[in-house]
Amino acid sequence: MKKFSSEIELRGHLIDSLILTKVFDGIMDHGGSFEVLDIQVGKKKKDESYAKLLVTGTNTKNLDTILNYVYRQGATSKTQKNVMLKSATKNMVMPDNFYCTTNNQTQIFLKNKWLDVENMMMDKCIVVKAKKATCVPIRQIKKGDKIVTNGGLIAEIVRVEKDFFKIKLDDKVEARLDKESIVRKLDDED
């Protein structure tokens, strides 16, 4: 793999929605290049397509800019990333970009293993203590608690549309997310 490159995947109605064209154009408009490593085009109207690309930038900053763009179009990284944890600076104070929970079963990827989150509730946060992830209300946050922030939770994208994408959280649970909810790709150092 080239020094300033990353593999990405796209799934969904990539051709009829022009998502693949937007991704190709966006990569080149940002000064990058790409190589199509795999592509599978749906044969019928309801069939989804799949593409795997190697995206290359001129440097790390340029690659990050390109990846931010393609993630907003619904692309996902081929690399599994551990959740991002930030410490609470005070009691009942959340770090920036903390992950706000749903009431659906949730898992986090921590230390290269999937971990079930206990006590799931709507509009709370996830605290990690001693290899255990628990959903807790903000009023129970204590200074120093390790809190999951956005960008580390990973789900399978099952459909990509013009302004949103649908993710699979569980066998029976899908969520529809606005593409604008993707802020940026986080590096390991963040």
First-last CA distance in the chain: 23
Q: Rounded to whole angstroms, how far apart are CA atoms 185 and 162?
A: 20
Instruction: Name the 3-class secondary structure at 184.
Output: coil
Which DSSP string corresponds to 132-158?
EEEEE-GGG--TT-EEEETT----EEE
Q: What is the pLDDT of residue 140?
A: 94
Share in percent of the chain as helix, strand, coil (round to 5): 15, 40, 45
Please return the burial class of 65, using the count of CB atoms within 10 Å of its CB with bins 0-12, 13-18 and 19+: middle
- What are the structure tokens assigned to 108, written together? 């986090």
Neighbouring C-beta atoms of residue 87, cutoff 10 Å: 10
Considering the segment(s) 84-149 as one domain, its CATH architecture is: Beta Barrel (2.40)
Extents of the domains making up the chain: 5-80, 84-149
3-class state of residue 190 by DSSP: coil
Q: How far apart are CA 53 and CA 24, in angstroms?
A: 10
Per-residue pLDDT tens, the chain, 190 aa: give them.
Answer: 567 888 888 888 888 889 999 999 999 999 999 999 999 999 998 888 999 999 999 998 898 889 888 887 878 776 657 788 999 999 999 888 888 887 777 778 787 677 889 998 888 899 999 889 999 999 999 999 999 986 544 556 677 677 776 776 656 666 666 655 554 444 444 4
**Residue 13: its pLDDT value, please?**
87
User: What per-residue confidence (pLDDT) applies to 1?
Assistant: 55
Quickly list DSSP for 96-116.
TTBPPP-SS--EEEETTEEEE
CATH architecture assigned to 5-80: 2-Layer Sandwich (3.30)
Pairing of strands 113-118, 132-136: parallel
